Chain A
Amino acid sequence: MKPDDSALEVLGLTKRFDRLAVDSLDLTIHAGEFYALVGPNGAGKTTTLRMIAGLLRPDAGAVSIFGIDALQNPVAAKQVMAWVSDEPMIYDKLTPLEYLEFVAGLWGIAPSVSEPIAEGLLASLGLEPHRHERCEGFSKGMRQKVALAGALVHDPRLIILDEPLTGLDAVSARHVKGLLSDRVRSGCTVIMTTHILEVAERMADRIGVIAAGRLVAEGTLTELRQQNGHADTSLEDLFIALVTLQEAA
């Protein structure tokens, strides 16, 4: 890959609450890459993603999205990205179609463009039969799918997902994974946190392991194995070895 094709560049990102949550984190994700960020609970994954998405102001550091300084020019940076959290935040009193219309409107997408995309997303996520039902009666999995459709309806170049598969059944999870893989194939960049290491292992081009607010290892699965000297080990074993090592340090 060329060095200047980065979709996301994070330099010295730092955030402190009552303790240091993210500690001078550097991260580069290339355009069209599927990047999985894994780590134990409280490692700083969500805080890192929230700072990248502009939901949290870092104490120090820089975030660049497709060359746009996200801290200096947040509106331009937000125009090209989408955020999906583990807790789907949608409006109970809107239907999925109305929700997608609202999101498309917020991103300034012309109705002639957004409406067919919305229809396609509802169909591919199995929400078509519920298009006119208000979201108040939806299960968590359905709500998560509506939130994901909202993230995709404005055709973002960078998708930031925090545990997007939480609460989804196997079929829905496969739908979502398929949808994300399709997006990556069409050139979209995805950064995702997950506790399901199998998902990271199967889907991600590169995996970053974060512990105590620091990126302790990064690379393809093969590179991670080589770095740790275990040729045939699973990501789960690698992850446990890395985190244990970090905790001991």
Chain B
Amino acid sequence: MSSATALSWFARHELRLAWREWFAMMTGGRRKRARVAVIGLLLFAALLHVPAWAVIGRFADLELPLDKSSLIVISATIFLAWTLMLSQAIESVTRVFYARADLDLIMSSPATLANLFSVRIAAIALTVTVIALLFSTPFIDVLVFGGGARWLAAFGLVVAMGLSAAAIAIAVTILLFRLIGPARTRFVAQILAAIIGAGFVIALQVAAIMSYGTLSRFTILTSGSVADHAPDVDSIWWWPARAAIGDSEALLLLLALGLVLLGSVMAIFSGRFADTAIDAAAYGASGRTSAKERPFRGGSRQHALRRKEFSLLWRDPWLISQTLMQLLYLVPPALLLWRSFADSSAALTLITPVIVMAAGQLAGGLAWLTISGEDAPDLVATAPLTSSSVIRAKIEVVLIAIAVIFCPLIAALAFISPFQAAVSAGAVIVSAASATAIQLWFRVQARRSQFRRRQTSSRLATFAEAFSSIGWAASAALLLALPIAGLVSGLITASLVAITWKFSPRRE
């Protein structure tokens, strides 16, 4: 087999694996669900056009030349999308290093490793770009329908963004390996992905709160002071915005830049990719030393179970990165809260839905990890405890963790508005309890490491959990502004949770 044939064969192998992984994620590993998954995806894509229209429909008429304010808003939106792509790319690269089971096979083969890893780098770039294209299509469609074919150039821009995001993600991850070693890289990369994904939006919100006392990020982007400090309209900083609108010269330059960046990363890092992969594998084999010497602790059986769950949650890098992200999202409302001590603002109401939503989401993740993600199910099942006491101990862990995270925020809120604090506290409890209950009803025995794929076991549970969090957040916000509407919304959300219970699998 010639070198070129071998490379194209390996590229096909990588694409096949990526396709099957994605397909399994969509269908939950059941081939019979393929048709349902395709219909569901098409429906989802069609539905996504509605919020896309609401969010960016009004920008469809924009034409070159643009004023500074429009350039700022479009560039910021593009940068936000790019940070999300970068976050996802870092996640993909880390997964290739730590979770791919074929590294031994590849590295023991007589093929040139640099070439094979170049293909793997290209596959990462392709995956990131394709996913970005899938999610951006409804938004670009809306712009094309409203503003004409010139907006099709935005697809090209998404490709350029995907290539550059993948290139930077690979470079950052390999540099992290060299700087801090494989043990810390896994953890730091996850945190970094979370911070990058959320950081830009949060930074805009923080700036808006500090300057204008509002959570709206557009306030800061459309303000005169930002326009005063922004570069001239001819600056290269606006190339992405111009490319999106149909400036073919800017688009070609950005595409070329993306390709050059990815090519450079392949040339520089494909050789080191192998070393990095070996280090990551060696890290997996060596393990980590952690605990200090201390005597065994006493307590009840449930206490032992709770202690174990807390230890595992505390040592779960995914959970820490997700919690950090949730906490990052809570920074803007917390800041708004802090400002409101001096200046009472109507925007304070916005804190409640954010807190309630975050509590529901976090409780759902925690509940999956503690209830379904039990790595030693036989041990727990053969222990002298009733299954109800095991479940109760695990639910307690979820609720305690939620209480520890959200109590300080609600206590601070109580100083400004005791009524809002009471509503928020009640909604946080109901939202967390609903998400936990949904995870309990749809529990499926799994390993904790399968957390990323937890949604594949039950789409119904995934959607119900998301809608319940959104529903309780909306109900709490409405209860503060329009109590009757809040009660109606609460009843609808409670009905939704009840229907979910009705559809949950029966157990002995």
Cα–Cα, bound, A102→B375 (Å): 14
Cα–Cα, bound, A94→B508 (Å): 32
Cα–Cα, bound, A130→B286 (Å): 11
- Check A81–B382 contact: CB distance below 8 A: yes
Contacts of A147 in B (CB 8 A): 379
- Check A95–B290 contact: CB distance below 8 A: yes
Known pairs A54-B381, A91-B376. 20 more at Cβ < 8 A?
A75-B386, A78-B383, A85-B378, A89-B377, A90-B376, A91-B308, A92-B448, A93-B315, A95-B290, A98-B311, A102-B304, A105-B307, A105-B308, A106-B379, A108-B300, A108-B384, A133-B287, A133-B290, A136-B284, A137-B288
Contact for A104 among B296, B311, B382, CB less than 8 A: B296
11 A-B pairs (CB sep. < 8 Å): A55-B378, A75-B385, A94-B311, A105-B301, A105-B304, A105-B308, A106-B385, A107-B384, A130-B287, A134-B287, A134-B315
Cα–Cα, bound, A239→B304 (Å): 44
Q: Is A212 an interface residue (CB 8 A)?
A: no
Q: Which of A69-95 contact B (CB under 8 A)?
A: 75-76, 78-79, 81-83, 85, 89-95
Q: Is B101 an interface residue (CB 8 A)?
A: no
- A76-B384, A90-B376 known; A106+B301 contact, CB < 8 A: yes
Stretch at the interface among A27-35, A110-118, A180-188, A194-202: A110-118
Q: Measured between C-beta atoms, what is the minimum distance from A12 to chain B in Å?
A: 21
Cα–Cα, bound, A79→B385 (Å): 9
Q: Measured between C-beta atoms, what is the minimum distance from A145 to chain B in Å?
A: 14
Contacts of A95 in B (CB 8 A): 290-291
- Check A133–B383 contact: CB distance below 8 A: no
Contacts of A114 in B (CB 8 A): 296
- Check B291–A107 contact: CB distance below 8 A: no
Contacts of A104 in B (CB 8 A): 296, 304
- Check B304–A106 contact: CB distance below 8 A: yes
Contact for A136 among B288, B295, B304, B381, CB less than 8 A: B288
Cα–Cα, bound, A174→B404 (Å): 48
Cα–Cα, bound, A150→B304 (Å): 14
Q: Mark A42-69, 1 if CB is under 8 A from B, else 0.
A: 0000000000011101000000000000
Cα–Cα, bound, A132→B293 (Å): 8
Contacts of B448 in A (CB 8 A): 92
Contacts of A136 in B (CB 8 A): 284, 287-288
Contact for A106 among B316, B375, B383, CB less than 8 A: B383
**Residue on A nearest B382 in the bound complex, by CB:** A83
Q: Is B506 an interface residue (CB 8 A)?
A: no
Cα–Cα, bound, A103→B308 (Å): 10
- A94-B312, A111-B296 known; A89+B378 contact, CB < 8 A: yes
Q: Is A211 an interface residue (CB 8 A)?
A: no
Q: Which of A138-182 contact B (CB under 8 A)?
A: 138, 147, 150
Contact for B303 among A81, A105, A118, A135, CB less than 8 A: A105
Q: Is B298 an interface residue (CB 8 A)?
A: yes
- Check B298–A102 contact: CB distance below 8 A: no
Cα–Cα, bound, A90→B378 (Å): 10
**A-B residue pairs, 10 tightest by C-beta:** A137-B287, A105-B304, A111-B296, A89-B376, A79-B384, A93-B315, A106-B383, A78-B384, A83-B382, A115-B296
Contacts of A135 in B (CB 8 A): 287
Q: Measured between C-beta atoms, what is the minimum distance from A174 to chain B in Å?
A: 24
Cα–Cα, bound, A31→B180 (Å): 56
Cα–Cα, bound, A114→B307 (Å): 17
- Check B297–A101 contact: CB distance below 8 A: yes
Cα–Cα, bound, A111→B287 (Å): 27
Q: Is B39 an interface residue (CB 8 A)?
A: no
Q: Measured between C-beta atoms, what is the minimum distance from A248 to chain B in Å?
A: 36
Number of A residues, CB within 8 Å of B: 44
Contacts of A90 in B (CB 8 A): 375-376, 379
Q: Measured between C-beta atoms, what is the minimum distance from B443 to chain A in Å?
A: 16
Q: Is B305 an interface residue (CB 8 A)?
A: yes
Q: Is A37 an interface residue (CB 8 A)?
A: no
- A55-B382, A111-B298 known; A134+B376 contact, CB < 8 A: no
Contact for B379 among A98, A103, A108, CB less than 8 A: A103
Q: Is B505 an interface residue (CB 8 A)?
A: no
Cα–Cα, bound, A115→B294 (Å): 11
Q: Is A97 an interface residue (CB 8 A)?
A: yes
Contacts of A92 in B (CB 8 A): 375, 448
- Check B291–A93 contact: CB distance below 8 A: no
Q: Is B346 an interface residue (CB 8 A)?
A: no
Cα–Cα, bound, A114→B304 (Å): 13
Contacts of B285 in A (CB 8 A): 137
Contact for A115 among B292, B295, B307, B311, CB less than 8 A: B295
**Residue on B nearest A114 in the bound complex, by CB:** B296
Q: Is B380 an interface residue (CB 8 A)?
A: yes
Q: Which of B267-321 contact A (CB under 8 A)?
A: 284-293, 295-301, 303-305, 307-308, 311-312, 315-316
Cα–Cα, bound, A213→B500 (Å): 40
- Check A134–B299 contact: CB distance below 8 A: no
Cα–Cα, bound, A54→B383 (Å): 10
- Check B382–A53 contact: CB distance below 8 A: yes
Contacts of A75 in B (CB 8 A): 384-386
- Check A132–B290 contact: CB distance below 8 A: yes
Cα–Cα, bound, A101→B308 (Å): 9
Cα–Cα, bound, A145→B134 (Å): 48
- Check B382–A54 contact: CB distance below 8 A: yes
Contact for A150 among B296, B308, B379, CB less than 8 A: B379
Q: Measured between C-beta atoms, what is the minimum distance from B257 to chain A in Å?
A: 41
Cα–Cα, bound, A147→B376 (Å): 10
Cα–Cα, bound, A138→B289 (Å): 12
- Check A93–B311 contact: CB distance below 8 A: yes
**Residue on B nearest A113 in the bound complex, by CB:** B296
Q: Measured between C-beta atoms, what is the minimum distance from B240 to chain A in Å?
A: 42
**Residue on B nearest A110 in the bound complex, by CB:** B298
